Amino acid sequence: MPASLAPAASFIRQGRLDLTPSLVHLLRGKWTDLPPIPHGRTPPLPRYHAYGTLPAMHPRVDLAGLPFADFLAWARGLVGHGDRFHRALYRQVLTTGTFAPRSLAAWREAEAQRPGVIAILEAAAAPVQRPTVVRTRAGHDPQHGETIKLVIRLHDGLEAEAVLIPMRAAVGQASHHTLCVSSQVGCKMGCAFCHTANMGLVRQLAPHEIVGQYLATVAHTGIVPRNVVFMGMGEPLDNLDAVAQAVAVFTARPGLGLADRHVTISTVGRVDGLARLPALGLSRVNLAVSLTAADDELRSRLMPINRTADLATLKRALLAYPLPADRRLLIGYVLLAGVNDRVVDAERLIAWLAGLRSMVNLIPFNDYAGSAFRRPDDDAILAFRAHLTAAGVHVRLRLTKGDDCMAACGQLGNPGLRQRRPAAARGHSVIG
């Protein structure tokens, strides 16, 4: 590194200088002989800003949440160079969760040609670009494999939870894993049967904190999930901009390159969010809707969102949704003993589904301490499924995985974090 560059790089590492466009110009235009920033570009800020209060990132730790175009503009704004150099660095961030240009042959080549380039990059971004797994719990199933709940520590000490789920292979196919990720710490939807609801909404997750759950899981377990489902803590459509940006990173090339059909976004039925999905490019991934009751009075008691968008409103939104021709809407139905598991409940569900190209996921309730609900017995579950099947409904009975380690559907979250909710959020209704 040129001697004149060292003091500035040191200040950036210490967080004493912001890497603003003027500083970049100073570093590149006056203290080095590098060419000016291409096309007058300046390093962009993250596209998404509404994720709560974060400290100033010096150096920045959010690179895993940037689509490649944003990453490229930021990196080229710092040091110039062609796409192939930045593509290698971006691939490193998304495959290892690290930012280490000095370890890449392309950047060693660039450094040989223009000394000091790597120092600028290293000063601008942290070497670790993924959050930390602080605890895991495993549920053991001799037939399906090990389900792992990962508790992931965020920058502010709060925790997100992700679940790595083994998936039994169909005949002629390889087995794989699905990662269930959180979109929020807590949730404000207030569903009566969900453990996460006891937390309330603590804060939103930023795109890099959502993608970071995937990177942390791979680094900790050595397993690369094939599928990602937004069915962890939080209502994805209540944090839609961050979720959309994370999905772009999950599915794009360069990026993690997951197939659209291997990503699923779940919602309790935020019709305002459903209307935005196509414009955000999200109608190409799978959509799951948690229904749980096809009667307005019952659903309003179980899921307060129904008080602002009833079943008729939700169905109109789903009928208008541009569902890809090869997909079905996934309709989640949590079976609660003596509440929504009767023949009359099945008949109401059959009637409500009319006209929708759908697949019903039956999810027997997963118990947790303090819950007023219980799981139906096996006979009741099978009878409910048989009633739907006889009416021509496509239905799948969700196998319970991870309930012995509080990793199953509806069991995530730490209600002890409720007191850490922002003051402005406390006292708001569950619909907000």
Domain shared by 92 and 109, yes or no = yes
| Spatial CA neighbour of 194 closest among 309, 311, 290 | 290
Domain endpoint, select from 73, 108, 124: 124
Domain shared by 183 and 244, yes or no = yes
Three-state DSSP state, 19:
coil
Catalytic residue among 187, 191, 194, 409: 409
Q: What is the pLDDT of residue 279?
A: 96
Looking up residue 407, the CATH number of its domain turns out to be: 3.20.20.70
Domain that holds residue 384: 132-420
Domain shared by 48 and 182, yes or no = no
Cβ pair 251, 221 in contact under 8 A: no
Q: What is the mean pLDDT of residues 298-311?
A: 97
pLDDT > 50? residue 190: yes
* 409 band by pLDDT with thresholds 50, 70 and 90: low
pTM higher than 0.85, yes or no? no
Q: What is the pLDDT of residue 42?
A: 34
Q: Which two tokens stand for residue 159?
A: 């925790």
Q: What is the pLDDT of residue 171?
A: 59
- Does residue 297 lie within any of the structural domains? yes
Domain shared by 339 and 404, yes or no = yes
User: What pLDDT, in 10s, does the model give residues 416-432?
Assistant: 554 454 443 333 322 22
59 upstream amide cis, omega within 30 of 0 = yes
- Does residue 425 lie within any of the structural domains? no
- Does residue 427 lie within any of the structural domains? no
Mean pLDDT of the chain: 83
Q: How far apart are CA 52 and CA 211, in angstroms?
A: 17
| Spatial CA neighbour of 239 closest among 214, 202, 284 | 202
Domain shared by 106 and 251, yes or no = no
* Number of domains observed in the structure of the chain: 2
Share above pLDDT 70 across residues of the chain, in percent, rounded to a whole number: 77
- Does residue 432 lie within any of the structural domains? no
Domain shared by 142 and 251, yes or no = yes
- Does residue 428 lie within any of the structural domains? no
User: What pLDDT, in 10s, does the model give residues 61-93?
Assistant: 999 999 999 999 999 999 999 899 999 999 999
pLDDT > 70? residue 147: yes
Domain endpoint, select from 69, 100, 124: 124
Q: Which two tokens stand for residue 210?
A: 């959502």
- Does residue 426 lie within any of the structural domains? no
Domain shared by 374 and 259, yes or no = yes
Domain endpoint, select from 102, 124, 146: 124
The answer to whether residue 191 is catalytic is no
H/E segment holding residue 360? strand 358-364
Domain shared by 93 and 139, yes or no = no
51 or 87: whose pLDDT is higher?
A: 87
Ramachandran quadrant class, 325 (left: phi over 0; alpha: psi -120 to 50; beta: rest): alpha
Domain shared by 51 and 115, yes or no = yes
Domain shared by 40 and 92, yes or no = yes
Domain shared by 249 and 211, yes or no = yes
- Does residue 430 lie within any of the structural domains? no
Domain shared by 137 and 38, yes or no = no
Three-state DSSP state, 146:
strand
Cβ pair 296, 311 in contact under 8 A: yes
